[in-house]
Amino acid sequence: MTHLPPALDVSGLEHRYPDGTEALAGVDMRVDAGERVALLGPNGAGKSTLILHLNGIVLPQVGSVTVEGRRLSADTAGEIRARVGLVFQDPDDQLFMTTVYDDVAFGPLNMGLSREEVDARVRFALDAVGLTSAASKPGANLSVGQRRRAALATVIAMGPAILVLDEPTSNLDPRSRREMEALLASLEVTLIVATHDMDVAWRLCERAVVLDAGRVVADGAVRDLLSDEALMVGHGLELPPAVAARSSL
């Protein structure tokens, strides 16, 4: 059997903002191909900063990020961005072109693909998120749920091996939230989901990593961690409602 390198290997990662705030204080995290990992933690725990490191928007100051065996640096950031797709929390940040079609085509065009290949990828991605009929709309004309899915399509079209999402279900009504969850579950990629939505973490992911004050404070099976009231509450989180209801019986 061949031994594949892990999809993602974060080792001793530290980050300090220019004002001196320490955002990451030595993060170690290893994710294998095909895993679905929930990244949990209170506001200010360093989740967003960690996410920005995963495809080289921010480069490591101390420590390293390795994607599929390739170490992240200024030289490799370009290739790694095509492998690690980042979906930002606010879809208005991600939909910056004049139409949804152009937004989804933006990544593939930057990859230097032919017009036909780009068109095929845009169609595939819009079909995957159920927005084929909205291709010619400006991003601004979509509902919040549609915008979220369009933002996801912009990344799917690049064919990434690892998908990293920042709060994919925040501000969504229950139906849009269910749709987003089902959509994410249907994707065959390595998934890292930063979320405060414990339900989504519970149902979508097998594994959870809890981040607090820039450090990994727990890493294990999602059902073990999310049932551990002391751990959850101790780090500013909560039990999923279903678990809380069961334990109060």
Cβ distance to other proteins smaller for residue 126 or 205: 126
The distance of closest approach from Cβ of residue 136 to other proteins in the complex, given in angstroms and rounded to an integer, is 5
Cβ distance to other proteins smaller for residue 125 or 218: 125
By CB under 8 A, name the binding residues for other proteins. Answer: 52, 55, 57, 78, 81-82, 85-86, 88, 90, 92-99, 101-102, 105-107, 109-111, 115, 119, 123, 126-127, 132-141, 154-155, 158
The distance of closest approach from Cβ of residue 46 to other proteins in the complex, given in angstroms and rounded to an integer, is 16
The distance of closest approach from Cβ of residue 183 to other proteins in the complex, given in angstroms and rounded to an integer, is 16
Cβ distance to other proteins smaller for residue 121 or 207: 121
Cβ distance to other proteins smaller for residue 26 or 138: 138
Cβ distance to other proteins smaller for residue 88 or 202: 88
The distance of closest approach from Cβ of residue 207 to other proteins in the complex, given in angstroms and rounded to an integer, is 24
The distance of closest approach from Cβ of residue 141 to other proteins in the complex, given in angstroms and rounded to an integer, is 6
Q: State the DSSP string of the chain.
A: ---PPPSEEEEEEEEE-TTS-EEEEEEEEEE-TT-EEEEE--TTSSHHHHHHHHTTSS--SEEEEEETTEE--TTTHHHHHHHEEEE-SSHHHH--SSSHHHHHHHHHHHTT--HHHHHHHHHHHHHHTT-GGGTTS-GGGS-HHHHHHHHHHHHHTT--SEEEEESTTTT--HHHHHHHHHHHHH--SEEEEE-S-HHHHHHH-SEEEEEETTEEEEEEEHHHHHT-HHHHHHTT----HHHHHHHT-
The distance of closest approach from Cβ of residue 98 to other proteins in the complex, given in angstroms and rounded to an integer, is 4
Cβ distance to other proteins smaller for residue 94 or 195: 94
CA atoms within 13 A on the CB side of 209: 23
